[in-house]
Structure 1
Amino acid sequence: MIPSVVLDKENYEEKVHEMLKDEKTYETLKADPTPKYKRNLIAILSRLQKEKKIDYAQYRLLYPTTVNTPRLYCTTKIHKQGNPVRPIVDYTDSLGYQTSKALADLLNPLIGNTEHHVKNSKDLAEELSGVFIEEHEIFNSHDVVSLFTNTPIKEALGIVKQRLIEDKDLKKRTKLEVDDIIELLEFSISNNLL
């Protein structure tokens, strides 16, 4: 059963505005960058089609026909003191949605191929059920704040690039070179409004 949270609208909006005041995580934009992002994405896709790394059908699928701004909403962390909010960005039907979706499909075979991967909280609980803590040991859990916005992009892209280079099946899934995938991934990660 998924718990439901009832929250006063003013209280909810206050929590969201308070979260967005964090200048280490968020910045106020002076102008809407969407037209520039759209031009840049079209330029990348046009080059990839010209180089025959994507065909016309792929180009049309990835071409940004919409300029919808991603929608931000928040869920309440009911397990935390003060019930702070967790931001969720609905990227559906936004500028880079199709490109992000195609990248997710392309990268999906790389997920779960390390010893440090857990699928979800149930998988983690099963992994931990076999762990026994000795009397002189402690179990420590860390809470990550603003995981996505605090992820070092350059380092993350470096890890993805190395995994793509090592992927023996990549050429079966795409004509894109590793550097093309990284370029599209960097575009998707770096050119978002939320």
Structure 2
Amino acid sequence: MVHLMITDAHYRIRKYQHVIEDQKRKLQQTLTPEHFETLSTAIETLCKRHREKRRNILKKKIIKISKPTIEENTNNSVVNLSKQPLTNTEEQLLRKGLNYNTSDAPKLAFYAALESSLKTSGISEETQHEIRQSIIPLTQRMKGNNQLTSQEQTALKKLRTRKDIVIVPADKGRTTVIMDKEEYIKKAEEILEDKSTYKPMDINPVKKLDNRISKTLNKLVKAGEITKQDQWRMKSNEPVLPRFYGRPKIHKPNIPLRPIVALPGTPTYNLSREISRILKHLVDSSNHSIKSATQFLDQIRNIQINDDELMISFDVTALFTSIEPNLAKETLSLLLTNDENLYIYLKSIHFLMNIVESIYSLHLIYC
């Protein structure tokens, strides 16, 4: 599959080289030699700057993955807050973690995921067909593989059928928490009863939101801001409402829940993913962002704190929903306006800000 994608990449490079040469000829016929030379020099300077920037990012990645990593303890902890004890097999099973892959995915699910990936990959139909022809025969010869012992499989079935408990990840770390379902629902309802944040709705707004997004994307297609393929990638098929759940903060008194609103499958989810993809380079090049606690510790490792200085950390409540929308949009517009590599990631600021405006207005209904 990698070989096919590399082949397709070379094909697209050759294709774009022909397009560039064609555009050069048109510009030479339109511009004076002096203007053409000035434009060519400016484009080449921007390209060199972008290549150097990408090269530095890749160098940092190589250095990062080349560093010896601290061996992680894969024996995750389990905290049982329920009234019912766990058997040794059940506890050992849960120590594997909630993301542990117990068996191979069903072939039908794999084929569906493959098709979804191919449709959004941007590669040619011919290459997509070659990938299918290479992968599907391999999957048909594969036998299902279960990673659990027979005792663990029995324990898993038993845990799945229990209605008196919930099994959720903790808010911090890799701990698995078991709670009485009644207690979990009680704490979740206490959060939802905050009328300043949550408000009951009389009707399901999903269809209306989906129609608004469709109209926005249709306008952008007609205006030439996005392609039909972009529209297909940004649109959610058969969208659903967000799901609410809580993660227990086992490091705090009374073990409150951190509210989580899961957006996969909602009308704005694919739009948000597209915007995140476009804006990722702004975050990667920022001096004010941290990807992980490990990166933060690396950066402060050699900092000396004097006797008259203090290092302070803040615990922010409802960080993302506390950000003023107009301020966020103004800041984003300013960053994009000053971005020298903007043309590499999108056609225009107007397209991006139009989508961001739609996401903000629609998310207000969810929050």
So what's the TM-score if we normalise by structure 2?
0.49
Residue aligning to 1:26: 198
Residue 69 in 1 paired to residue 232 in 2?
A: no
* Alpha-carbon distance in 1 for matches of 2:313, 2:222: 50
* Alpha-carbon distance in 1 for matches of 2:278, 2:346: 8
The worse-fitting range, judged by mean Cα deviation, of 121-130 and 24-33 is 24-33
- Secondary structure, counterpart of 2:177 in structure 1: coil
Which of residues 34, 37, 50 is equivalent to 2:222? Answer: 50
- 2:182 maps to amino acid: E
Deviation of 1:163 after TM superposition, in Å, equals 1.2
Which of residues 29, 37, 40 is equivalent to 2:212? Answer: 40
> Which protein has the larger Cα radius of gyration, Structure 1 or Structure 2?
2
Deviation of 1:156 after TM superposition, in Å, equals 1.1
> Is the Cα contact below 8 Å between 2:244 and 2:260 reproduced in 1?
yes
Which of residues 242, 252, 264 is equivalent to 1:80? Answer: 252
- 2:285 maps to amino acid: N
Which of residues 355, 363, 367 is equivalent to 1:184? Answer: 355
Deviation of 1:105 after TM superposition, in Å, equals 0.8
Q: Give 1:1-194 correspondences, 5 Å limit.
A: 1=76, 2-175=174-347, 177-192=348-363, 193-194=366-367
- Secondary structure, counterpart of 1:138 in structure 2: coil
Deviation of 1:55 after TM superposition, in Å, equals 1.3
Deviation of 1:80 after TM superposition, in Å, equals 1.6
- 1:19 maps to amino acid: I
> Is the Cα contact below 8 Å between 1:49 and 1:56 reproduced in 2?
yes
* Alpha-carbon distance in 2 for matches of 1:186, 1:14: 36
Which segments of structure 1 move beyond 3 Å, counting only runs of 4 or more?
A: none
Deviation of 1:186 after TM superposition, in Å, equals 2.5
Deviation of 1:46 after TM superposition, in Å, equals 0.6
- Secondary structure, counterpart of 1:40 in structure 2: helix
The worse-fitting range, judged by mean Cα deviation, of 7-16 and 127-136 is 127-136
- Secondary structure, counterpart of 2:178 in structure 1: coil
So what's the TM-score if we normalise by structure 1?
0.89
Deviation of 1:35 after TM superposition, in Å, equals 2.2
- Provide the alpha-carbon RMSD of the alignment: 1.8
Larger RCO, structures 1/2 (Cα 8 Å, 6+ apart): 1
- 1:153 maps to amino acid: P
Deviation of 1:25 after TM superposition, in Å, equals 2.7
> Is the Cα contact below 8 Å between 1:69 and 1:94 reproduced in 2?
yes
The worse-fitting range, judged by mean Cα deviation, of 42-51 and 138-147 is 138-147
* Alpha-carbon distance in 2 for matches of 1:22, 1:121: 31
The worse-fitting range, judged by mean Cα deviation, of 103-112 and 126-135 is 126-135
Q: Tell me, which stretches of 5 or more residues in structure 2 are unaligned?
A: 1-75, 77-173
- 2:268 maps to amino acid: G
- Secondary structure, counterpart of 1:88 in structure 2: strand
Deviation of 1:63 after TM superposition, in Å, equals 2.8
- More helix by proportion, 1 or 2? 2
> Is the Cα contact below 8 Å between 2:234 and 2:271 reproduced in 1?
yes
Deviation of 1:102 after TM superposition, in Å, equals 1.1
* Alpha-carbon distance in 1 for matches of 2:264, 2:335: 27
> Is the Cα contact below 8 Å between 2:239 and 2:266 reproduced in 1?
yes
Once the two structures are superposed, residues 115-165 of structure 1 have per-residue CA deviations (whole angstroms, 9 ceiling, x without a partner) of: 221111111222232333322322222110011211111111111111111
The worse-fitting range, judged by mean Cα deviation, of 66-75 and 182-191 is 182-191
The worse-fitting range, judged by mean Cα deviation, of 102-111 and 177-186 is 177-186
> Is the Cα contact below 8 Å between 2:236 and 2:265 reproduced in 1?
no
